[in-house]
Amino acid sequence: MQAYLLDFANFMMRWLHVIAAIAWIGESIYFVMLDNSLRTPKATEDRDKGVFGEMWAVHGGGFYHNQKYATAPAKLPEDLHWSFWKAYTTWLSGFALFVMLYMTSPGFYLVNTNSDWAWVANMSGWQANVLALLFLLGGWVVYNELCKRISPNMDRDGLLSIAVAVMMVVVAYLSTQLFTGRAAFLLTGAVMATAMSANVFFWIIPGQRRMVAAMKAGEAPNPLDGKRGKQRSVHNTYFTLPVVLLMISNHYSFAYSHDHAWVIMSLFIFGGALIRQFFVLMHAGKIQPAYPVAGTALIAAAFWVAMPSASTTANAVAAEQSTSLAEVEAIIEARCVACHSSNPSQAGFNSAPAGLAYDTTTQIESQQAKIREVVTSGYMPLGNMTGMTDEERAAIAAWTE
């Protein structure tokens, strides 16, 4: 019953997380589009009252007229719309999911027993949990310091973009050394997602509140608050596509169990950012196909790097003869069925992970390629909790139809 309750809570929290993320990302993308689509107002009276740009749109059977003020408008309405709860809900629900799944079983999901660093491979579960929290916090601190020190007046954003790009490569590499592959992809995405939410919480909303307070007091708002909010919002929009990809990556072990998973991750991050750049410029009336072409090329490079080869199944070479189905069934019964069964015996599992049960020969045969992939890469069994040997991995790698 406890495993079922945890599964159901996970299910509902995941639903909340997806809904909140759709709402936040959708609104964020809309406002970036709106900002880049503004045109100089045609009416003289609009220009005279401080309207910087306007956009006419048609949607849902009606017409909309959006205007942006470069300076304080004559008055502010009491029902001024604020955009922040979607961001906070997305982060809080995502963190709750991480705690429920990863931090409750860190020995399975976080501890990287294959790390090149001995102290990481020998970590206990609670140490891995602490390291994961420090990893998220450290990512935000480093990113925030880069923004403050490199472009404090928002006048060196090109250099800042390069610095943040380098930072993400370092984050990708460190995550694959410190944590298991699936957790590494998730935590790299979570570093960006944490920066996005923290940008809203620490900079965008406080800056907007100061601007509103100044307007109500009849004072001129500090222009740096507006510029800084715009800078962090732009960063958030470039993080969006990579974050979404990394958050759904846990279904695809060919990427996160690869020896060069950090390279694959980096290629996906930059590919997503370049594709997002195309749409950002498109809304400003600039069609530059070089960006999606370059982004697609990076994704193709990630596909090439992740592609299975003889080197990724080196254990198969060690086996002189193919393995029979009967031998594979015996290995799976001993090492996999504790979790991958319609009635798992492993504590904490209410049902077969990913719906993959290996109780029958037919079930095993239907998943031959997937079993081979996750076993030979070392990803399964999780944390090797059932003690699968290298010889058994080689046998499964040599399993023929």
Residue pair 193/239 in contact by the 8 Å Cβ criterion: yes
Percent of the chain with pLDDT over 90: 51
Mean pLDDT of 373-383: 79
| Mean confidence (pLDDT) of the chain | 88
Predicted confidence (pLDDT) at residue 12 exceeds the cutoff of 60 = yes
The whole-number pLDDT of residue 320 equals 47
In this predicted model, what pLDDT tens digit does every residue of 147-184 receive, in sequence order?
999 999 999 999 999 999 999 999 999 999 999 989 99
Selection from 340, 387, 342, 343 nearest residue 367 by Cα: 340
Q: Which residue has the higher pLDDT, 217 or 20?
A: 20
Radius of gyration of the chain (CA): 25
Ordered by start, the domain boundaries in the chain are: 38-69, 91-306, 315-397
pLDDT band at 327, cuts 50/70/90? confident
Mean pLDDT of 7-30: 92
The whole-number pLDDT of residue 14 equals 92
In this predicted model, what pLDDT tens digit does every residue of 203-258 receive, in sequence order?
999 999 998 888 888 888 888 998 999 899 999 999 999 999 999 988 787 888 88
Q: How far apart are CA 327 and CA 336, in angstroms?
A: 14
pLDDT band at 298, cuts 50/70/90? very high
Output DSSP code: residue 111: B
Predicted confidence (pLDDT) at residue 4 exceeds the cutoff of 90 = no
Mean pLDDT of 273-279: 95
Residue 218: exposed, middle, or buried by beta-carbon count in 10 A (0-12, 13-18, 19+)? exposed
The residues near 287 (Cβ < 8 Å, ≥ 6 apart) are 281
The residues near 340 (Cβ < 8 Å, ≥ 6 apart) are 332, 352, 353, 356, 357, 358
Percent of the chain with pLDDT over 70: 95
In this predicted model, what pLDDT tens digit does every residue of 330-356 receive, in sequence order?
999 989 988 899 888 887 777 788 788
**DSSP code string of 38-89:** -B--SSHHHHHTTEEEEEEEEETTEEEEEEEESS--S---TT-----HHHHH
Residue pair 301/361 in contact by the 8 Å Cβ criterion: no
The whole-number pLDDT of residue 57 equals 92
In this predicted model, what pLDDT tens digit does every residue of 94-140 receive, in sequence order?
999 999 989 988 988 899 988 889 999 899 999 999 999 999 999 99
The whole-number pLDDT of residue 390 equals 84
The whole-number pLDDT of residue 281 equals 92
The residues near 264 (Cβ < 8 Å, ≥ 6 apart) are 255, 256, 258, 302, 305, 306
pLDDT band at 194, cuts 50/70/90? very high
3-state secondary structure of 179: strand
Output the six-digit token pair for 11: 């299910």
Q: How far apart are CA 66 and CA 38, in angstroms?
A: 8
Predicted confidence (pLDDT) at residue 33 exceeds the cutoff of 50 = yes
Output the six-digit token pair for 162: 């390069």
The whole-number pLDDT of residue 386 equals 84
Output DSSP code: residue 341: S
